[in-house]
Structure 1
Amino acid sequence: MPRSFRPARSALLLAGLLASAGVAHFVAPRQFDATVPRTLPGSPRVWTQASGVVELALAAGLVVPATRRASARATAVFFAGVFPANVKMAYDWRNRSPRARALAYGRLPLQVPLVLWARHAGRAEG
């Protein structure tokens, strides 16, 4: 397998993605607040901040070899768990411009490669 696709490197790249997203939850929270399903109790901001903290923790876990495997599994579960927020976004954006709708609808199938990426990142180097 090419070096760029090895699990350790993949885990570091995924950690960078998660860390960036986690920071974005605090820097620009309004865009994330809007995707929080209203069926969840409490303020959307609390859920936005909580998911940001989770993303930062998952990123940290992926960087540390001793916690990488467990963090990768947790990351896969996290990506599956936030899927309802992406569905809500797609529904909410159904009457927006074609470009905005394409963005919202395009996020839905992206969860699958993200879950697979997380699973790959947790594999032992061979």
Structure 2
Amino acid sequence: MSRSARSAFLLAGLLASAGVAHFAAPKQFDAIVPRALPGSPRAWTAASGAVELALAAGLALPATRRVSARATALFFAGVFPANVKMAYDWRNRPTAAKTVAYARLPLQIPLILWARHAGRDES
């Protein structure tokens, strides 16, 4: 198995875990949905979880890996506003919580790069 295939499977596992978490414990995700989005936070939480599960499936299948990897990179960029909202909302929490919230912001860059790597051609 190539490095990009292993990378795709690991990223698929991360996305699948996050997708399941959106349905198993939705309140924590509802809280970071930007208020400017139309509809209910729960609808956005469910939609985000479903997208993560679909992206995970797409990354796991070689036939759809390349397009799914690109879509995953775009998804990671698209959820960045939720991370900004979380960091802002948690600005007055204890230091450990603030650190988690602030660390999520630059984490999007390696996640985007990881998704791009996972979609590389294996030949």
TM (norm. structure 1) is 0.96
2:122 corresponds to which of 95, 116, 125: 125
2:45 maps to what in 1?
A: 48
1:125 offset after TM fit, Å?
1.5
The 1-side partners of 2:100 and 2:11 are apart by 21
1:23 offset after TM fit, Å?
0.2
What is the aligned residue count? 123
Q: Where in structure 2 are there 5+ consecutive unaligned residues?
A: none
2:68 maps to what in 1?
A: 71
Q: Where in structure 1 are there 5+ consecutive unaligned residues?
A: none
1:17 maps to what in 2?
A: 14
Moved beyond 6 Å, runs of 4+: none
The 2-side partners of 1:62 and 1:33 are apart by 26
1:96 corresponds to which of 84, 93, 98: 93
SS in structure 2 at match of 1:65 = coil
The 1-side partners of 2:97 and 2:60 are apart by 34
SS in structure 1 at match of 2:35 = coil
Superposed CA offset, 1:22-66 (max 9, x none): 000000000000000000011000000000000000000000100
Q: Percent identity?
A: 79
Superposed CA offset, 1:87-110 (max 9, x none): 000000000000000000000000
2:109 maps to what in 1?
A: 112
The 2-side partners of 1:120 and 1:106 are apart by 22
1:83 maps to what in 2?
A: 80
2:30 corresponds to which of 33, 39, 48: 33
SS in structure 1 at match of 2:64 = helix
